[in-house]
Structure 1
Amino acid sequence: MSEEDGEERRRRRSGPVTKGGDQRAAKQFRERVKTARGRKYSSKLWLERQLNDPYVKMAQMEGYRSRAAYKLKELDDKFKFLKPGARVADLGAAPGGWVQIALKRGASHVVGVDLLEMDPIDGAIMMTLDFTEEGAPDKVKEALGGPADVIMSDLAPWTTGHKSTDHLRIMGLVEAAADFAFDTLKPGGAFVAKVFQGGAEDELLAKLKSRFEKVRHWKPQSSRSESSETYLVALNFKREG
């Protein structure tokens, strides 16, 4: 879950968005946002930002479930880790934008996992599951049906506002996703994960560099400039021994 998308996911159920959009309706909605009684100021700002976000509008027009789809699209355009016929796991998948992109790029077997219930996506397995619970990684491996070509993680906890606590929680999820990748990827596979506050910590970064030929941090243009999120991309997985 993206830091910048968390508010959106708290406000609506996952599901497909309708294509197109009426500018007059958007303008009328903006006026209601300004005058609604009892609405928190932060909620008003979030809604206004959504109305003016070009990636939100593009997602609506192109039928993607969230603006986050464009982050994965940019990442794959640059690093080219999604291949036709790939077996892919998407951890923290709600509402399903990354799953949609993986399928569009030719993945043949995609498993999306999230705490939030997600509407079905044709061609994918969507699992409502807490990935951090005991036994959950085994359930995902079973759904994959074999070694993965790509493990993607958009996992992020609900933030507390306490920077040190939030960083520890976020890094715990990234490490859990990386351990799953070490145990699940086939040789040559890729691991993609969201990280915050300067990227992966030195210990995890060293571990990734020992198991992948190439490890990079990169921030897509579609990631909002005020967000502290960036993405870790590890390519060409090497089995130990």
Structure 2
Amino acid sequence: MSCYTLRFMALGLLLLAMLEQTEACSCGPSHPQQAYCQADVVIKGKIVGSKMITRDNSDDSHGFPWIEYEVQQQKMYKGFEKIQQVEYVYTPLADFVCGMVLGPDEMNQDYILSGTVEADGKVYINICSFNRPWSQLTHAQQTSLDGRYKDGCRCKIVPCLSLPCSLDADNQCLWTDGIFTGNWSGAQSQRFTCVMKPKGLCQWVSAPSSRAHSSPLRREAH
């Protein structure tokens, strides 16, 4: 049994004790474009190492351990003005406080990573942000990172949580993946961006895709 496995087994026992008095992490629906726009930094990179740390001078009153992931940055999509190069990202070592905890088989993969840059100059990520293996992104999502998501940041994506759904401003797009299919990773999440047209009206636009054209998006409210 590797040292890596033994270390995480020991930490798992610690976290189980903490879990009894801690509520589970809950993330609201977040469209990839919305996650991009809200993040300070968005990069593509390979996670090549990890270690447990404690946050010095942190306001974290719970005292949770943290993971420092070593990253080989391949491309930066957002955050040039905040950080030159991302070499490490940080996350709580517990999924019940929204930590992005990876197992050994999830390491050494290319990821899209989005997070915040805090006062200490470090990049912090969690499972509620747009952080996932690059191979799981659709072609449309990958290409939208090169500019379409940025162009849509003047728009607001509003998830439809219960019927009837409505919008109250021209700069909004109604996101209905979850209400119709029960899965927020549907067509609008995988293939569409919300962009601003002339006169400040935002609407869904299909992103370029290398795959065969699928069924058209059902009509949304404006």
Structure with greater strand percent: 2
TM-score (norm 2): 0.31
Larger Rg: 1 or 2?
2
Structure with greater helix percent: 1
